[in-house]
Amino acid sequence: MKKTVLVTGGAGYIGSHAVRQLLDHDFDVIVVDNLSTGHVKAVDPRAKLYLGDVRDLNFLAGVFKNNTIDGVMHFAGKIIVPESVGDPTAYFDDNIQAVVSVIRCMHAYGVKNFVFSSTAAVYGTAKTTVISEDAPLHPESPYGFSKLAAEHLIAFAERAYGIKHVIFRYFNVAGASLDSKIGEAHPVESHLIPVIINAGLSGKEMQIFGNDYETRDGTCLRDYIHVVDLAEAHVLGMEHLLKEGESATINLGSQNGFTNKEILTTVDKVLKEEHLSEGVKWKFGPRRAGDPAAIVASNERAKKILGWTPKYDLETMIKSAIAWKNTHKNLYNDKNGTKIAFDKED
């Protein structure tokens, strides 16, 4: 029988890819999103969409009451490190209160399978470059702390209510769907790959933050993963739980690192090959606060527990991100989120 997954934040960047992947794997999908950063147009029309805030217990309980739900994937939340430093209460509210609310409803309606979006930010600056899930946890921002607090709550919920979980700690996610229908559409873009693409397409200059790190070329090194690979891992995570698999905390990364300079060179090369830019304008800027020099995921556990390895390489990631940006100059053309009418056709 078809299983139904509730996806919170299903109108966001990663959530919308997970929704499509679930539907393509024959799940029924219910999306809950308050459109604070998501987009109605990102939601696959095959999904059932509820517009509202997961922290609103009455609203969320209504969704559980009116549907038979087999599992929840929780993506709703805030994700920008510097923003969290400036407004920690917003982060604790969104990223912890939302999980409290979801777990309360899961417990009340007997839903036992929970897949959660966490982050490599829970590790902070690690002692080793390749980070396993057992590495010490030292978040350095309210964002990282809020996700770690939610991870603890989820672990307590297993003991108290028997709700099983797969917690995914993401490294650097990039790329867009291979048919360019959905992609990254943040109100303010701060992530390296889209920032470079925007600079290349617009002719405006971008900055690489810091050139004196202890890495092979002095710029920070990160582990990038294609959003479609990430979405696939979530489906495997949910299937693992539905097959009575044990709870697990799992890194999602490629186990490869690229420096900021290498990313710049690759994006620049692809943009030139595709005749979209004559060369990205850039310069070195000062270090960005809170940036660890190098972080790479160990993905052994993902392989072992889920049989998951990433399929798409850096160039595919960059090409899909460019194709998305180039075909969606105004992104979803909806002034982003809250201002748009609550209408799927809008």
Q: How far apart are CA 38 and CA 40, in angstroms?
A: 7
CB of 251 to ligand UDP, least distance (A): 14
Residue 272 lies near ligand UDP (rule: CB under 6 A): no
Which one of 84, 172, 249, 299 is in contact with ligand UDP (CB under 6 A)? Answer: 172
Q: Which residue among 59, 209, 272, 305 contacts ligand UDP (CB under 6 A)?
A: 209
Cα dihedral sign for 8, 10, 12, 17?
positive
- The CB-of-155 to ligand UDP minimum distance in angstroms stands at 24
CA-wise closest residue to 121 among 166, 164, 85: 85
Beta carbons within 10 angstroms of residue 217's beta carbon: 12
Tell me how far, at minimum, the Cβ of 211 lies from ligand UDP, in Å: 10
**Candidate list 115, 182, 195, 238; residue touching ligand UDP; CB under 6 A:** 195
Task: Look up 332 and say whether it is catalytic.
Answer: no
The stretch near ligand UDP (CB under 6 A) out of 22-30, 48-56, 184-192, 332-340 is 184-192
Instruction: Please say whether the beta carbons of 136 and 300 come within 8 A.
Output: no
Q: How far is the C-alpha of 97 from the C-alpha of 54, rounded, in Å? A: 9
In whole angstroms, the minimum distance from the beta carbon of 190 to ligand UDP comes to: 5
Query: Minimum Å distance from CB 133 to ligand UDP?
Result: 18
The answer to whether 284 contacts ligand UDP (rule: CB under 6 A) is no
- The residue with its CB nearest to ligand UDP is 220
Q: How many CB atoms lie within 10 A of CB 85?
A: 15
Considering the rule CB under 6 A, would residue 288 count as an interface residue with ligand UDP?
A: yes
Dihedral through CA 1, CA 110, CA 304, CA 136, nearest 10? 160
d(CA 70, CA 111) in angstroms, rounded, equals: 6
Residue 262 lies near ligand UDP (rule: CB under 6 A): no
User: Binding pattern to ligand UDP, positions 216-245, x when CB under 6 A?
Assistant: ----x-x-----------------------
Q: Which of 73, 208, 236, 238 binds ligand UDP (CB under 6 A)?
A: 208
Q: How far is the CB of 185 from ligand UDP (least distance, A)?
A: 15
Question: CB-wise, 103 or 227, nearer to ligand UDP?
Answer: 227
Q: Number of helices (H) and strands (E), helices first, in the chain?
A: 11, 15
Told to check if 206 binds ligand UDP by CB under 6 A, we report yes
Which residues are within 8 A (CB) of 16 and not within 5 positions of it... i.e. 6 or more apart?
Answer: 10, 38, 39, 42, 43, 44, 182
Total binding residues toward ligand UDP, as defined by CB under 6 A: 14
Beta bridge partners of 251: 169
> For residue 252, what are the contacts with CB-CB under 8 A and spacing of at least 6?
168, 169, 170, 171, 225, 229, 230, 233, 297, 299, 302
Q: Which stretch binds ligand UDP (CB under 6 A): 42-50, 91-99, 101-109, 190-198?
A: 190-198
Cβ distance 106 to 112 under 8 Å? yes
Residue number, 34 or 255, with CB nearest to ligand UDP? 255
Stretch that binds ligand UDP, among 67-75, 126-134, 161-169, 185-193 (CB under 6 A): 185-193
Least Å distance, CB 260 to ligand UDP, is 5
SS3 278: coil
Closest CA to 74 of 167, 149, 172, 157: 167
d(CA 63, CA 32): 9
164 binds ligand UDP (CB under 6 A): no
Q: Is 291 in the site for ligand UDP (CB under 6 A)?
A: yes
Annotated catalytic residues are 143
| Chain contacts with ligand UDP (rule: CB under 6 A) | 172, 190-192, 195, 206-209, 220, 222, 260, 288, 291
